[in-house]
Structure 1
């Protein structure tokens, strides 16, 4: 790379290092059009405290000739055994717990190509420290992500791509316009279920924004989530102590305009909750729960409708369900999309062979599933499990 255009890399290995560059980080995000909550230190630092464990931070800041921060590669290093290989994986800070989506490379406009090349140069220079780089849940239109993918292919490195489904609602300027986008059946359900609930109970829908009320609302979320999944014979995801710790710290950090923690009460009792957060004119829906005892009253459905109505009035123009495309999301007018995932390794490196084995094995499994008779596939699965 031309020395005159090279970006200077510096690595941040601790939360203290990240706190020192917080003002620059936030300034960079303000210039980054694809910025989301998931790229902020408000999200990443609480996540790291909860889930970082024995992993090592490898957050790389790239500076221009004047010393200004031009881009970030928020990475971490973890180890795991995969296909009998003990491997060192570089991945996004925030990846690994299934909580973070839209992970990306914040960058100043015009520095996308240079950031990609500078990152690859850094990876080559530090090739003894990592085996495979796994980049998960990037936005499909990630500027640096797509440029990096093209540059990796040009180098001839081993790279394997996959997609993960997601969905979001593009919201209009008024509730009336939004309702017109829904089916007549869905419009009718919103009105009918809301009126029926208000006729049967004293209904209170509230956005929790004060720090003093967060604990009670979060504990209600944890309990309602548990009840819902218990009916399916599953624990859900909110019983994990690390996730509860993360949610509590995140809610405190976001308390105020950015936090979208909503509750629906019937006769003073919380029976449905939604936990999300706002970034610019987008609200991300992270988690929710409702009391199965009141499932016939459609409390979760009514809460969703009323939250959407209030968010539209507050200027929100996108409601992002994040991962998943099930009917409970698409019926609200959500458009299906996908996140970009890719794993790569240097050719003939320690990570190249297991990476190829992993993906070729997955391709072979998919082929067998699609071409074998159902009885033969079931027999093969039973033999493997046995």
Structure 2
């Protein structure tokens, strides 16, 4: 077995075909693990990071890819260098690509252990999955010589697309159903309702155009929502991320991974849910609506339409994403934990207070009634 380290994103083009093939073999994979995502992310945010993409090769053939980055973050003990995944909270879950992710993770980290340490904290965030953890990342890290502390990084709202739409509705409270029908009636009084869902098949099948008309409609609605006034600058229309998200959109459309949901009232865009999908798993990246119809519940009506259509399409799960959990609780089937695995070596002197903190947080790791089903937990502070 051999591990090849790539530090320039341009050099990953040599492994494009292998990456695409490995992603198709990866259990529970998402668009965020694609080479297209990493290339776009790195062009916009890689200037202050160091790429460490590890290609695992067996018998002259790539069998796995472990994308890592070294980035500096401000902590209570000062600025520390973290070796982690290049996701930055854009998605819920991440991990190595390949048919056997734990083997890829172990091989990649064994290689890291043999190289000069350019990091203070090895912290693999965003582990888990929409159906729970598919493998023991902690065991793979321990086998590679990096025993970790496992803590909860965050939570995400999951809708299980199981059975029929009627089955799902039977699990909702009757008051929820009444509110939806009342909101739908109010919106119909304002004009004809039209629900548009666009999922291109991808460039390989001759259906990879980005449909900028739909994306621009979502972007204009994003500029009208209250989120546009937030200081974090992460809505579709915000200048700090606008160019990045448009580039990702074009790549996702070509890859057949875009999921655009748009509700029009009287022919005018009223609400949107923008995200990605991969092998039956949908992910809602951003939502927004026109404030003029917000009081009538346009956002929730669109979410209901989106979920109903997901049942009709035969999807398996819909991840509504982290944050705003209160507004999603009426729709969710469950909350799924997003795990963080942290290893702080003794030689990283300045990071030792963080090691004690991660140990303390790990002692508060909640109990689970089943894989991915949490009994009671809250995300730990960073």
TM-score in same-fold range (> 0.5)? yes
The alignment status of 1:224 with 2:221, answered yes or no, reads yes
1:310 aligns with 2:303: no
**Aligned residue pairs: how many?**
350
Q: From 163, 166, 170, give the equivalent of 2:160.
A: 170
Structure number with bigger Rg? 1
CA distance in 1, matches of 2:91, 2:229: 25
1:345 Cα deviation from its structure 2 partner? 2.3
Partner deviation per Cα, 1:219-247 (whole Å, 9 max, x = no partner): 44334334332698767522543421122
2:241 matched to which residue of 1?
Answer: 243
Q: How does 1:7-156 map to 2 (within 5 A)?
A: 7-64=1-58, 66-83=59-76, 85-95=78-88, 98-109=89-100, 112=102, 114-139=103-128, 141-143=133-135, 145-151=137-143, 155=145
Other structure's SS at 1:187 match: helix
Structure 2 equivalent of residue 349 of structure 1? 348
Deviations 1:40-94 (A, max 9, x none): 1232222222222321210101112x12222221101123454454433211122
- Give secondary structure in 2 for the equivalent of 1:273: strand
Judged with a 3 Å threshold, the aligned counterparts in structure 2 of structure 1 residues 173 and 254 are, in CA distance, closer, same or farther, namely farther
Q: Which residue of 2 aligns with 1:338?
A: 337
| Alpha-carbon separation, structure 2, partners of 1:158 and 1:309 | 41
- Computed over aligned residues only, the root mean square deviation of the Cα atoms, in angstroms, reads 2.9
Once residues 242 and 168 of structure 2 are traced to their aligned partners in structure 1, the CA distance between those partners, rounded to angstroms, is 34
Q: Compute the displacement of 1:9 (Å).
A: 0.6
Query: Would you say the 8 A contact 1:225–1:236 is kept in 2?
Result: no
Per-residue deviation, residues 143-189 of structure 1 (Å, max 9, x unmatched): 2623234437xx57564633311121111343222222222222223
1:204 is paired with a residue of what secondary structure? strand
- Cα shift readout 1:173-218 (whole Å, capped 9, x = no counterpart): 4322222222222222333322332233122221245777743433
**Structure 2: tracts of 5 or more residues without a match:** 201-207, 363-382
TM-score after normalising by structure 2: 0.81
Q: The residue matched to 1:34 in structure 2 has which SS?
A: coil
**Cα deviation per residue 1:327-374 (whole Å; 9 max; x = unaligned)?**
3212113311101112212223346425336658989xxxxxxxxxxx
Return the TM-score normalized by structure 1. 0.80
Deviation at 1:301, TM superposition (A): 1.2
Q: Which residue of 2 is the match for residue 320 of structure 1? A: 319
Contact 2:32 2:91 in 1 (8 A): yes
In the alignment, is the contact (CA less than 8 A) between 1:325 and 1:336 conserved in 2?
Answer: no
Measured in 2, the distance between the counterparts of 1:273 and 1:48 equals 27
Equivalent pair of 1:182/1:333 in contact (CA under 8 Å): no
